Structures are given as C-alpha cells and as structure tokens.
C-alpha cells in the first residue's frame, strides 16, 4: 500500500541516544545508534521503498521522563522539540512532529505543548510513560489531580497524546528478577503502559475531558483482549465498578483511545483488535528504528483484511486524527 502514515517512529539527540543502548545487544548497538541519529537519509530511503508517505517523529525513551529535576526536563524538552521542528521544516511533506514534554512540571508541560502546537506546528505529543521527580522515589502517573489542568490544555488544543512505554523503576520490578528477558518490549513495556492507561480510564479523566484522544502502541498493549474481563468479572457480586469514573472501562477505551500496530505485526492480533475497538481506531506504525520498516510494511500490505480497512488503518485514520491535510 502506498501513502501510509507511521507514527511511533523515533529519533535521538546526541544527549539522549545512550538511553536506548540497553534495548539491543552490544553487537547491534552501532546499527541501532546510527538509525536513531539519522532522519533525512536512510530513514527517507526506507520510507520510499515501503510506501510510507509520512512519519510523525518522537524522541527516544525514556529521555525527558527519566530526569528528576524540573529545569533539566524543561531544557531537554525544548532542545529536542526545536531540533525536531528544524528537521520537519526541511521535509514537511514527509515528516511531522510529536512533542516531548516535561511532565515533571504539569504547568510547564502544558506551556511546552502549547508552544509546540501553536508555534512549531506539531501534531500532538508523545510521552514516555510515567515521569520521575526529585522529591519522590516512585513513578508519577498522569491520572493524579495535579495533571488535570494539563489535560484540559491537551483537550483545548485538540491534539492526540501518545502514551509510549518505558520499563518500570527497579524498585517496582521485583517480579522480573531472574527473568530479565521479560523487561522491555517482550512484556514489561506492555504491562506498564496498560496499567497506566487503565488508571487514566478509571480516574474519571474522560468524564471531565471527553474529547481527549490517547494513543497506545503495539496493538493496544494487550488491552483489547482484556476489556470484557475488566468490566465483567464477578458480576454476581453486589458492588461493581469501584473507581471514580462514571462508565464502563470499555466505553472509554472505544471512545478515547486509538491503538497502533507498532512492533506487533500479526494478522490474528490485528483482527482481534478490529473486533474489539474497530478499524476506525487502529493506526499503522512500524516502531522504527527498533523494528524494521520492511517487516511492518510487508506484513501490513498483504495481511488478510478488507481493502477499505487497510486504507483506513494505513492512512485515513491518521490523516484525520492528526489533521495532516
């Protein structure tokens, strides 16, 4: 399929590239590093070869979210966003930007998102999971009340927010001890992001801000296949839905979330997701440079779905959601 849009596609600055070193064997790091630091050369050739018209680019992980000091997080966000804006200006027909945000300071994050959308022309934001701040030794999630003004600004601007994975903090990862192979994209990324998404849904956030649109990757981080059980366990018991939100979790999932196919190139999984959330809320992505563009595109271009659904997932949904026209 020609004209595809991909939106979980990452780059790195010299000062953030080392954050990704742990996601590959040492022997593969030179290749991954080169992929991360390239935007205008090999990336474009890969796009041309595999029918990708547009990439929405975002900073690698965890980068900003791992900085404890507000000033450091704000400074890195601004440098990354200014760099990305310059790259987009060179080829706006092929690249658009998703903002990095200093979630350590919700007010600063709202201001930076506003700057990126109103001044730099970015199409949304991508944040690498929970954040860390100097006066806490735990992960800070975005369902807490301090972030409500930030979410109000996201809704006002009318742009999507991509909730991207990161590994749990070491103190929260005891379940993975002696099984470190489960960290990262194998399992921990998905579980961490799925819980964060459920916290947002259960918190009442979407009752207060019903127009918010959140994106999660990797075919929904396992959530499409858990929705029925989340809402229907122990239905004979007297008390149900013990959370602040007013509606069933699946209703928020179907109305306030999109999922991408990034790094999960399997037809059975795609069809399951289509049955649960609908083809109108699924978006093509590759997860370059951690996954191969040819693997993503070859699978998607030939997977056994209706051509109308292929067009929506591959292009039309993203074109509409991000207002690319």
Catalytic residues: 287
Contacts of 71 (CB under 8 A, 6+ apart): none
Burial of 10 (0-12, 13-18, 19+ CB in 10 A): buried
Phi and psi of 242, rounded to 5°? Answer: -85, 65
Sheet containing strand 4-11, edge to edge, reads 4-11, 52-59, 95-99, 124-128, 161-164, 214-216, 257-260, 282-283
Residues 6+ apart with CB under 8 A from 47: 6, 53, 55, 94, 293
| Four-CA torsion 273, 281, 42, 181, nearest 10 degrees | -40
Q: What is the distance between the terminal CA atoms of the chain, rounded to a whole angstrom?
A: 19
CA distances to 15, 19, 39, 44 from 33, rounded to whole Å, are 12, 10, 12, 17
User: Can the peptide bond before residue 62 be classed as cis, meaning omega within 30 degrees of 0?
Assistant: yes
Both tokens of 301, joined, read 């271009």
The SS3 assignment for 258 reads strand
Alpha-carbon distance of 61 to 286, in angstroms, equals: 16
Q: Beta strand pairing status for 257-260 and 124-128?
A: unpaired
61: its two tokens: 């992980």
User: How far apart are the C-alpha atoms of 105 and 9, rounded to whole Å?
Assistant: 25
């Amino acid at each position: 399929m020609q004209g595809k849009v991909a939106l979980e596609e990452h780059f790195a600055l010299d000062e953030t590239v080392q954050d990704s070193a742990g996601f590959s064997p040492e022997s593969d790091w030179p290749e991954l590093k080169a992929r991360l630091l390239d935007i205008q050369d090999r990336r474009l050739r890969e796009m041309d070869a595999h029918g990708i018209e547009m990439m929405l680019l975002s900073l690698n992980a965890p980068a900003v979210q791992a900085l404890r000091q507000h000033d450091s997080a704000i400074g890195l966000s601004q440098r990354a966003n200014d760099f990305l804006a310059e790259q987009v200006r060179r080829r706006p027909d092929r690249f658009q930007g998703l903002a990095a945000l200093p979630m350590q300071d919700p007010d600063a994050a709202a201001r930076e998102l506003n700057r990126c959308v109103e001044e730099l022309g970015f199409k949304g934001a991508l944040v690498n999971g929970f954040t860390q701040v100097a006066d806490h030794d735990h992960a800070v999630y975005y369902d807490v009340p301090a972030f409500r003004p930030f979410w109000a600004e996201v809704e006002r601007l009318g742009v999507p927010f991509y909730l991207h994975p990161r590994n749990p903090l070491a103190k929260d990862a005891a379940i993975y001890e002696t099984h470190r192979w489960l960290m990262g994209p194998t399992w921990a990324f998905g579980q961490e992001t799925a819980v964060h998404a459920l916290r947002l849904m259960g918190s009442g956030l979407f009752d207060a801000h019903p127009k918010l649109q959140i994106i999660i990757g990797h075919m929904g981080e396992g959530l499409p296949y858990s929705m029925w059980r989340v809402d229907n366990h122990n239905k004979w018991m007297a008390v149900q839905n013990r959370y602040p939100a007013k509606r069933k979790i699946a209703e928020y999932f179907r109305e306030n979330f999109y999922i991408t196919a990034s790094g999960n190139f399997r037809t059975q999984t795609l069809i399951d997701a289509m049955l649960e959330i609908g083809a109108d809320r699924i978006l093509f992505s590759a997860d370059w440079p951690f996954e191969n563009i040819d693997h993503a595109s070859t699978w998607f271009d030939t997977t056994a779905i209706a051509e109308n659904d292929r067009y929506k997932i591959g292009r039309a949904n993203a074109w509409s959601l991000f207002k690319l026209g």
